[in-house]
């Protein structure tokens, strides 16, 4: 029997211990409206009219105007204490934290985090002709030319209903190995994000809900209820202290 030839010993790459999912509630105290609360975005505009590929095909100008307004609103907002606390957690944990956001604003990034934007970003555009992605800081319209191919075919790089969220392989990989999954400021009604808590719990993690009010999802065994600017900094400090 030939002896196995020893190969180089490689250290296993540590995966995320903590996965945090954020939703519109984390940006509420920065002045950005949530979707489903009283006065939320979907109480004023029908999502079918602005947040589906069909809506864009039927009335691109309306859809572009909706996202142009949201981009401008986000530019006028500032990250709050909850965004800053998660940035602090990211600096302390490095790759042991995966921050996933459903939000298309850039408040996590402006606080110093590099979140995985599973529903895309208002601050990127994608060309429907060549597929190139670009930074997008100003209004888009039907005449805006793609810097890569020149076609007037740009759309906001956001995920619409009926489209595939971004980064799902990385997210499910992290959910399978994390110890803690925390959902912050999300109503938990939009899949697949709404299923992340169950997924993490099935793989052995503890699921924590940090929200204005409990959503009733039985996967969450720990609840921190109240405004995110109060609950998130406390949870971050406690979580980091427990690891020290
Ligand atoms: P929702 O509007 O559905 O839920 C916001 C949640 O935040 C609610 O549970 C509120 O109770 C909570 N909340 C509000 N203010 C808060 C505060 N100050 N502190 C803590 N929690 C607070 O928003 P999302 O769950 O993010 O998708 O919505 C999920 C997805 O639905 C969005 O990404 C968007 C939307 O349609 C697409 O457009 C594809």
- pLDDT tier, 8 (very low <50, low <70, confident <90, very high otherwise): low
Distance (Å) from CA 93 to ligand 1 centroid: 26
By the 10 Å C-beta count (0-12 exposed, 13-18 middle, 19+ buried), 185 is classed as buried
Minimum CA distance residue for ligand 1 atom 14? 25
Tell me the per-residue pLDDT of 192-211, one tens digit each, with 9 for 90 and over. 999 999 999 999 999 999 99
Domain ranges of the chain: 1-32+79-119+165-244, 40-76+120-158
Distances (CA, A) of 165 to 100, 169, 186, 217: 11, 10, 16, 22
Does pTM top 0.85 for this prediction? yes
Q: Within the chain, how many helices (H) and strands (E) appear?
A: 10, 9
DSSP assignment letter at 10: -
Which of 44, 118, 211, 216 has the most ligand 1 atoms within 8 A of CB, as the residue to mutate? 211
Least confident range of 8-12, 53-57, 176-180, 189-193: 8-12
pLDDT average, residue stretch 128-143: 96
The residues that are catalytic are: 119
Q: Which pLDDT does position 7 carry in this prediction?
A: 53
Give the pLDDT of residue 32: 96
31: left (phi > 0), else alpha (psi -120 to 50), else beta? left
Question: Which residues form ligand 1's pocket by a CB distance below 6 Å?
Answer: 23-25, 28-29, 34-37, 40, 47, 51, 102, 119, 159, 161, 185-187, 189-190, 211-213, 215, 227-228
Q: How confident is the model over 96-113, as a mean pLDDT?
A: 98
Judge if 1-32+79-119+165-244 and 40-76+120-158 fold alike in CATH terms.
no
Q: Do the bridges between strand 206-211 and strand 222-225 make them parallel or antiparallel, or are there none, so unpaired? A: parallel
Report how far ligand 1's centroid is from the alpha carbon of 216 (Å).
15
Q: Which fold has domain 1-32+79-119+165-244?
A: Rossmann fold (3.40.50)
- Identify the CATH class of 40-76+120-158: alpha beta
């Amino acid at each position: 029997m030939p002896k196995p030839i020893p190969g180089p010993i490689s250290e296993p790459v540590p995966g995320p211990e903590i996965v945090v999912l954020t939703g519109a509630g984390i940006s509420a105290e920065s002045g950005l409206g949530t979707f489903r609360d009283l006065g939320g975005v979907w109480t004023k505009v029908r999502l079918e009219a602005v947040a589906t590929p069909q809506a864009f095909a039927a009335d691109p100008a309306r859809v572009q105007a909706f996202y142009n307004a949201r981009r401008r609103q986000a530019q006028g907002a500032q990250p709050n204490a909850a965004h800053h606390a998660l940035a602090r957690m990211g600096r302390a944990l490095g790759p042991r934290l995966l921050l996933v956001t459903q939000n298309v604003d850039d408040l996590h990034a402006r606080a110093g985090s590099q979140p995985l934007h599973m529903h895309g970003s208002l601050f990127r555009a994608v060309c429907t002709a060549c597929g190139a992605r670009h930074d997008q800081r100003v209004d888009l319209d039907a005449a805006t030319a793609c810097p890569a191919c020149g076609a007037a075919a740009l759309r906001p790089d956001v995920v619409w209903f009926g489209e595939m969220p971004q980064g799902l392989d990385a997210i499910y990989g992290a959910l399978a190995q994390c110890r803690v999954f925390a959902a912050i400021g999300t109503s938990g009604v939009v899949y697949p994000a709404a299923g992340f808590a169950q997924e993490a719990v099935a793989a052995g993690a503890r699921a924590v809900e940090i929200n204005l009010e409990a959503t009733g999802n039985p996967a969450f065994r720990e609840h921190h209820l109240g405004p995110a600017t109060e609950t998130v900094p406390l949870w971050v400090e406690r979580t980091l202290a427990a690891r020290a």
